Amino acid sequence: MKKLGQELRKIRESKNILLRQVASYLEIDTAMISKVERGERRLNRQQVIKIAEYYNTKEEKLLTLWVCDKVLDVVENEPFAKKGMQKALKALEV
Amino acid sequence: MKKLGQELRKIRESKNILLRQVASYLEIDTAMISKVERGERRLNRQQVIKIAEYYNTKEEKLLTLWVCDKVLDVVENEPFAKKGMQKALKALEV
DNA sequence: AGTGACTTGTCATTATTTGTCAAAAATACA
DNA sequence: TGTATTTTTGACAAATAATGACAAGTCACT
């Protein structure tokens, strides 16, 4: 769970960048990005794009994780999560 | 889109029940259930369960549609919707 | 025109999310 | 160890979104 946060932390650590620096680039509080990396808070789409740029990472990769998290949030603790998601996927195919 | 609403309308019409009656059973405004059937508003989980009971329909069926709608809401207009959902599905398998 | 069913738009209320701050905890390292 | 730096935490305020109620509207039918 919290795919995007995990990835962001991994990237940030591999680049030896501080939370403070990322926060400043995104113009948010350090506490906020800390929470994001631990899956406690979500970024919005623009912030994901901006951070992808900052990290020189494929936007698509991070946005995919971001969507994934949002979907998981919505279905968590839901017995029919899987069935519902499969139906939603099918709806997209059409 | 708006799978649950479609289904609810179909069921209601097949049973010749009025919006007013469903609304009264769910203890909400008629306008509200009208919006639900047209996909403009969402029911909460409890209301879905209650309406399944009222219509003598499988709870699972309606809840699945309800989850489906919630997921679609979250990914709509998202270019990476499909990829994100697939990843989310995989995350559930584990 | 009158009635009943449904729809629409607006508004107030409520709930959820987002971001900040201050302080605590963890980490690094002289 | 002591201290400086980084990260985490919890409480709170601000912003945003969802909910429900109401009144007025449309539509179909008589």
Q: What is the pLDDT along chain A (94 residues), one digit of tens a residue?
A: 589 999 999 999 999 999 999 999 999 999 999 999 999 999 999 999 999 999 999 999 999 999 999 999 999 999 999 999 999 999 998 7
Q: Which nucleotides in chain D have some atom under 7 angstroms from a protein Cβ?
A: 6-11, 18-24
The dihedral sign for the CA sequence B21, B26, B28, B34: negative
CA distance A74 to B78: 16
What local confidence, expressed as pLDDT, does residue B2 receive? 86
Residue at A6: amino acid letter: Q
What local confidence, expressed as pLDDT, does residue A93 receive? 87
CATH topology of domain A3-93: 434 Repressor (Amino-terminal Domain) (1.10.260)
Q: CB-based contact (8 Å) between B24 and chain A?
A: no
CA distance B58 to A19: 49
Token pair recorded at residue B56: 């003598």
Radius of gyration of chain A (CA): 15
What local confidence, expressed as pLDDT, does residue B50 receive? 95
* Residue A13: partners with Cβ closer than 8 Å, 6 or more residues away: none
What local confidence, expressed as pLDDT, does residue B1 receive? 53
Look up the pTM and report it: 0.94
Query: What parts of chain B have a pLDDT lower than 50?
Result: none
Provide the phi-psi class of A19: left if phi over 0, else alpha when psi is between -120 and 50, else beta.
alpha
A35 strand D contact, CB < 7 Å: yes
3-state secondary structure of A53: helix
Are B85 and A85 within 8 A, CB to CB? yes
Q: CB-based contact (8 Å) between A60 and chain B?
A: yes
Q: CB-based contact (8 Å) between A38 and chain B?
A: no
Are A66 and B60 within 8 A, CB to CB? no
Question: How many CB atoms within 10 Å of residue A33?
Answer: 27
